[in-house]
Amino acid sequence: MIALTLEHLADAVRGALHPFGDDTADTIVEGAVDTDSRLIEPGGVFVAKPGDETDGHLFVGAAIERGAVVAIVERLVEAPVSQIVVADAVAALSDLARVVVAEVRAAGVLRIVGITGSNGKTTTKNLLARILEGEGETIAPKASFNNEVGAPLTMLRVTADTQYLVSEFGASGPGAIAHLAGLVEPDVGVVLMVGMAHAGGFGGLEGTFEAKSELVRALRPGGVAVLNADDARVAAMAPIAAERGVAVRWFGRGPEAAVRADDVVVTASGTSCVITVDGASLPLHLKVLGEHHVMNALAAIAAATTLGVSLADAVGRLETVEIAERWRMQPMGSDRVRIINDAYNASPDSMAAALRTLAQITGPDERMVAVLGAMSELGEYAGEEHDRVGELAVRLRIPRIVVIGAEARRMFLAAVAQGSWDDEAVFFATADEAYDYLVDELRDGDRVLVKSSNASGLRFLGDRLGESFS
């Protein structure tokens, strides 16, 4: 965090300062801000956030032991540290992020990119960060820090020297993206797609459209909306951009996109294509597995070139990316038995994309194996969407379909109903049971996809299989 006096810090979070020891209102604080006492570093600011399972106020002492010099709390605690009492610790995080980013922006060259979409946010964030890091100091979220806590924590990492802040915006409900993006008013807003991910929380695709379009509405006047020309719902955000006085930069696979990809070829070593930006073209070999990641790369290139990065630099830096993120199309195992661990997140769109990638990268003498778990946050659409995944797996002629967990059982039943009768599809209640089956079942030449939402925990099964067949 940038240097602030305790008084300025208290004003920023609309709290009451209670100095301790030799501290005064003029004491300078410039350490990192965190809500996890285990991650506090010397000089840090600890935010005692109440949680569903525990209360951050119980860990103020632990934060002090790790070097915290001030705690933002909702009630005073008995602890030898300066404290700032606020009405709502999570709201205080947002207030502080808004103030810090505004001060950095006013004093320097900070440019801000916001990214949202039903799928691909984290991958696009990582790809764009890799490009921008070559231009100057870049701050981007760790993992998927995209909610009311993670996004402000990322924003608070900016310094006086930061040139680019890349923010990922998830949506827990209507208004969430408007709030988070409103903290920083991005110069560039990237909308990847409007799909069924989390549709249960928005009442369907129209509600999801409204939520994702909040980013476009939050852009600074004179900014740029980077929109997916291939997604009709995203394309329908162009009039919103016009109302806000921001330009539109299109990316996609079609000829109308200013940033597009042609001649796409998918292999087990990655995806090759030709990238065209405003009429200039260069070949790109993306090591990240999956044709669907071409769109994420296009979005990153579109945002980067909007900020003045050359196409050659953007392509060159993307080609150094090995994986999008841990547990996202992560190759494991060996050439003998290849495991693709993609079990950090799942939606109907990403599940279909991963299954199609499995089919594309499996050679004629190799066998496809799909290990599938439940997709979360689909609400009333969960049953039919799990049915569709099971049906698609059969239509792609995947000869071994392993479904795990009661919430995913409809995938198994749909696969059987679709025509998987000869033991192609099997069901296990737990990941341990599936592991015991798979270590005996898998053989040389198998290409294995492990795919589910985070809540299903299959990412750890993928790790176990990767280690077993390494």
> Per the annotation, does 120 bind a ligand?
yes
225 and 248 Cβ atoms separated by less than 8 Å: yes
- Alpha-carbon distance of 241 to 223, in angstroms, equals 9
Cβ-based neighbours of 173, under 8 Å, separated by 6 or more: 201, 202, 211
> Per the annotation, does 453 bind a ligand?
no
> Per the annotation, does 405 bind a ligand?
no
> Per the annotation, does 195 bind a ligand?
no
319 and 284 Cβ atoms separated by less than 8 Å: yes
3-state helix, strand, coil in the chain (%, to 5): 40, 25, 40
- Alpha-carbon distance of 94 to 75, in angstroms, equals 19
* CA-to-CA dists, residue 470 to 21, 337, 342, 417, 463, angstroms: 56, 8, 17, 35, 10
- Alpha-carbon distance of 426 to 409, in angstroms, equals 10
The amino acid sitting at 137 is E
> Per the annotation, does 296 bind a ligand?
no
> Per the annotation, does 228 bind a ligand?
no
54 and 78 Cβ atoms separated by less than 8 Å: no
Alpha helix (H) residue ranges in 108-221: 121-133, 150-155, 176-182, 205-218
**Lookup: tokens for 450:** 């492990």
> Per the annotation, does 138 bind a ligand?
no
Annotated binding site for ATP: 117-123
Annotated binding site: 117-123
